[in-house]
Structure 1
Amino acid sequence: MKKQEIAGECPWSHLEPSGDGLIVHDFITTKLSTLMSALRRQLTTPYASQFDLSVSEWRVLSLIAHAGTLPFGELVVQSTSDKALVSRTIRLLEQRNLIEIKPESDTAKKRIACSITPEGEALHAKVIPLARQRQAEIICELSKEEREVFYAAIDKLQRAIDK
């Protein structure tokens, strides 16, 4: 065990822009990826599978339910998944009659949009309260101040990436 782990010191406290001394386990991408995998496995997978949905299906269904209708390109961006995964996922959701896929417009027949069906809305209405509860439970592991700082830090990093 490294000295900083024993002392509880943050390896980022005295980090120089050169990144000297930063090990791969302390990369922000590694830390966040590890956290995301654990959150998906411990939070999302149980409630999604309870309703016979994969995590990807739940993510896409919830995005479409929130929007009502989403163009495919926007769905890919919002889902943070690749086009192939989103394409496979919407086809599965369409087969289950949870969403409807149709041309974006009469003039853009090759571009598709996805809309929620009544069956999709009903399923979403069953899952979303449990999803909100599970998400809130883990967020509430942080104090109010920690939540505010964490949320602000995520937003700040997102803005830096989007520049």
Structure 2
Amino acid sequence: MRPAASVDLQAEETEDFRLAGFLPYRLSVTTNRVSRVFAARYTREFGISIPEWRVMAVLGERAPISSNEACDATAMDKAKVSRALATLLHRGFVKKAPHPDDQRLLRLSLTAKGRKVYAAIVPRARQLEAELMSGLTASERGQLDRLLDKLQARVVDLEG
């Protein structure tokens, strides 16, 4: 049985909790909404999902990489990356090749068709970013970048 003081303290801590003000929730909601706005700009034309775009973006920037590296770079779970890769491979946007040092691993990269789609989407991504950032001053943009870097570093510390 829990002491009454413990129950009172717990009730006091939860009484003023507001999800709308909870930082992880706010970051998640903002990220999801931005992703949906961006997806609306490329999904109709290219028929790719948000996870598929994220994998393509990482491959466009860093290829060749393994699926594990794609998971790390996108911060998506293995199942979601695996499904995205399966679709991208099936549609001919991604190709796989054996790893030169470890035959158990595959190296993934964009095909010519995938690079063409990537090249078409990147300007849309930059445009959306510019639209989002247009509501901030140059100083605020710099501050936002610094704060996000600090939060990301802190999350890495907490994961470790």
Same fold per TM (> 0.5)? yes
Partners of 1:72 and 1:114 within 8 A in 2:
yes
TM-score for both structures, normalised by structure 2: 0.82
SS, match of residue 108 in structure 2: strand
What 5-or-longer segments of structure 1 have no aligned partner? 1-17
What does residue 120 of structure 2 align with? 126
What 5-or-longer segments of structure 2 have no aligned partner? 1-12
1:148 to 130, 142, 160: 142
- Trace 1:14-53 onto structure 2 (pairs within 5 A): 21-42=16-37, 44-49=38-43, 50-53=45-48
Q: Aligned partners of 1:74, 1:68: CA distance in 2, in Å?
A: 10
SS, match of residue 110 in structure 1: coil
2:98 to 94, 103, 109: 103
For the pair 1:62 / 2:57, whether they are aligned, the reply is yes
Deviations 1:54-111 (A, max 9, x none): 1111111111011131121111011111001101111111111111022223x52222
SS, match of residue 70 in structure 1: coil
**Percent of aligned pairs sharing the same letter:** 26
What root-mean-square deviation, in Å, do the aligned CA atoms of Structure 1 and Structure 2 show? 1.9
Partners of 1:102 and 1:112 within 8 A in 2:
yes
SS, match of residue 101 in structure 1: strand
Q: Aligned partners of 1:136, 1:20: CA distance in 2, in Å?
A: 40
SS, match of residue 141 in structure 1: coil
Distance 1:123 1:138, change over 3 A: same
Q: Structure 1 stretches (4+) deviating beyond 3 angstroms? A: 18-22
SS, match of residue 88 in structure 2: helix
